[in-house]
Structure 1
Amino acid sequence: MRTFARTAAVTALCLAVAASPAAAATWAVTPTPGGDLSRLNGVAATSATGAWAVGSAYDFTLGAERTLVERWNGTSWSRVASPNGSQLYNRLYAVDAASAADAWAVGFVETAHGVNGGGDGPKKAAAWHWNGTAWSIGDLPGAAGTPSVTGVDALSAADAWAVGSYYDPVAPARGEVYTAHWNGAAWTRVAAPAPGDYLNEVTSVSGTSGADVWAVGEWRDQGKGQVYHPLALHWDGAAWNSVAAPDPAGGTGGALRAVKAISPTDVWAVGYRDYRTPVAFHYDGTAWREVALPAPGGTGNTILYGLAATAADHVWAVGYTSSGAVTPESLVLRWDGAAWRSELAPPSDLGSTLLGAAAVGGSVLAVGYRNVLSGGTTTNRTYGLRGLN
């Protein structure tokens, strides 16, 4: 462990771009619409007064999750009408916007009841589009198995990516990477590398141009303890290519859950190892390297799910940490150009988790869910934080 700490510290110093640490953001809760059994999974911002957050909210009359879309006006969140593709479960995982009048969200539509109910029926991948006036819904191109599409990046009105994974039952059956591209008129499936013979999946996508896009996730081989490894794919304008990402030090494999491309030589990815310890990786235009994070402490789990950035020394990672406590608490980390440091997030009574983040100007928005007591039982409700720096 001491060797890893020294190596990571040297890496962090090599990445320094500022002579002194930037000031930490000041975080406060921003009330978000959403009743019992609701959450926000992703957020995107086009300006300090324009942002979108997406997720799901349970409809107790229908007995199913419905799409949840909220809009930020610089002061508060309000719910915006969003379509559903069926009377069953519909869920949004991620959102991104090319402009105030052009945004995409991705998720799934349940097409038939499952054996046990509760959203376990067959599903299809779908994309929702905002045209400046209203949200509409359309299918994403299919795959051999039901795709789970969890990431989206809108580079322009004629250039967007949706990513995820699907199960391919054709021998050798395995999980496969799913990517689809929007060219301004239609979505098209695009082939991507799959290094694992058991599982391959990407969960997040971010690019700086049509010839510089990253998608990250994990891959595994059959057997051998099914150790999972970071997966990093790069789109060069013509094809997806696998770029080596090392396993995190001090553990047995690791997975990446979010990526943020600031420039072609400045890309961050975060996730976890051993399902309990957070990790961060940086790409400098040549290779991916692990960068040290503050020790989470305690015996609980600490996982990072979201990333946001406005500059090389203004990068935020969000997730949760339990640190031995009964309930998780929101976690915010900040790369200040020299090192990752913890920022103080407001505590919640029964715990909370942040799943996505977006930054623009001097404002950072983070969303997820919090735990509350309702009717004598614990349930999830939407949760939002705003950081100012």
Structure 2
Amino acid sequence: MKRALLALTGGLAALTLAFGPAPGPWATEEFPAGDARLLVAERIDADTTWTAGFRRSGEGKQKPLRPVLFSREDSSYSWKRIPTPLDDARTRINGIGASPEGDAWLVGDSDEATRTIHTAHHDNTGWKLAPAPLPEGTLGGGFLGVAAVDHDDAWAVGWTQPDGPLLTFHGLIEHWDGAAWRQVVPPALDTDYWSLGGITAIAPDNVWAAGTIGTPDGARPLLLHYDGTSWTRQPAPELDSLKGEFTAMASNGANDVWAVGRVERGAAGTDHGLVAHFDGTRWSVVDAPVGQGRLYGLTVEGGAVAVVGAENGSKPIGARLQYGSWQALRLPAVGTQDTMPVGVVTTGRSLTVVGVATNTPAAGEERVMLPFAIRGF
């Protein structure tokens, strides 16, 4: 799956993060009080950024997941909670998508009772629920990414768990036609394990999706393309048969498509950040200075690209391509224990990186994950 579901636990004593001044050019932005696990960030329009995920609610150890959405206007350096029709559902918000017309989508996990996947659509009339069908013969599933071309043309991708004696996962592709989500037949991949985590829609006949596929030699990065008629598998960039996956995608036109994730290198199979680029003809691996870890967030605007992630889920990593040159992003530690960036957006010359941070809990206390956002130039 695109992002591992980590436990969130209570404990008011752990709710204060050691923010303080960020080293170098980075500055912190305020969030409303409370714990939350952020999973995604997206630029909604010329002035607005959203970030979303989930939090735990209720009493006891088995606290249900509840979705959470935050918004920030460019004129403000603080975030506010945005109510959505998903707020009472038991789901995460795994993906955010926006169309040029101003429509926005939130997508999440499946609902066992209704056999649907939670999604919500926002347009100039407000929010509407838009549940998507869960395929027959599956135990559950969800969407991990969503991309919109316009109000009646959007795509969502993710995963399902087939009902059977073996633990397997199959990818899921669905299309919004303006009235409902409809399942789309994926290409034949001849495997019992594959999933999709990232998607970018360039035009009605040009959509890319990315994820991971199981092979006899382990998981490999997976790329699919829609040409207006059908989805087909596309050659992934040469990775010397390395194990890995793609987690996110973004594009700036048909000849400038990007995907990020991880590959395993060395005898120990250590994760290293993976950046790949499509120039309109072929995909190739890009030597970005990210080092060890996994990349989760990606933004593309004009000739600038930024990628962020974490090493071992605790140390922030990232890099930026600007004016034809890559530079490492010196992302500061936010929590005293873990700092895990999950998303990045571009606002003019500045970058905003969002993620989850934790402090080292005191003896007998449970750790709590809190959202963070840092802004740099």
Give the TM-score taking structure 1 as reference length.
0.79
* Superposed counterparts of 1:91-170, under 5 Å: 91-98=92-99, 101-111=102-112, 124-132=116-124, 134-144=126-136, 145=138, 146-169=140-163
Question: What is the DSSP-based 3-state SS (H/G/I as helix, E as strand, rest coil) of the residue aligned with 1:335?
Answer: strand
Contact between 2:221 and 2:246, CA under 8 Å: does it hold in 1? yes
Aligned to 2:259: 269
Contact between 1:353 and 1:368, CA under 8 Å: does it hold in 2? yes
Q: Partners in 1 of 2:133 and 2:349 — Cα distance?
A: 38
Check if 1:386 corresponds to 2:375. yes
Identity of aligned residues (%): 26
Per-residue CA shift, 1:111-141, capped at 9, x if unaligned?
A: 36xxxxxxxxx97421112234643333112
Question: What is the DSSP-based 3-state SS (H/G/I as helix, E as strand, rest coil) of the residue aligned with 1:293?
Answer: coil
Quote the offset at 1:279 in angstroms: 1.2
Contact between 2:220 and 2:243, CA under 8 Å: does it hold in 1? yes
Q: Partners in 1 of 2:323 and 2:118 — Cα distance?
A: 38
* Superposed counterparts of 1:1-389, under 5 Å: 26-33=25-32, 35-36=34-35, 38-61=36-59, 63-74=63-74, 75=76, 76-84=78-86, 89-98=90-99, 101-111=102-112, 124-132=116-124, 134-144=126-136, 145=138, 146-169=140-163, 174-221=168-215, 224-225=216-217, 227-249=218-240, 252-274=242-264, 276-294=271-289, 296=291, 301-312=292-303, 314-322=304-312, 328-348=314-334, 349-373=336-360, 376-388=365-377
**In the comparison of the two structures, how many residue pairs are matched?**
340
Question: What is the DSSP-based 3-state SS (H/G/I as helix, E as strand, rest coil) of the residue aligned with 2:252?
Answer: strand
Question: What is the DSSP-based 3-state SS (H/G/I as helix, E as strand, rest coil) of the residue aligned with 1:378?
Answer: coil
For the aligned residue pairs, the C-alpha RMSD in angstroms reads 2.7
Q: Partners in 1 of 2:329 and 2:305 — Cα distance?
A: 12
Aligned to 1:12: none
Give the TM-score taking structure 2 as reference length.
0.82
Tell me, which stretches of 5 or more residues in structure 1 are unaligned?
Answer: 1-24, 113-121
Contact between 1:33 and 1:382, CA under 8 Å: does it hold in 2? no
Which amino acid in 2 is paired with 1:78?
K
Distance 1:201 1:385, change over 3 A: same
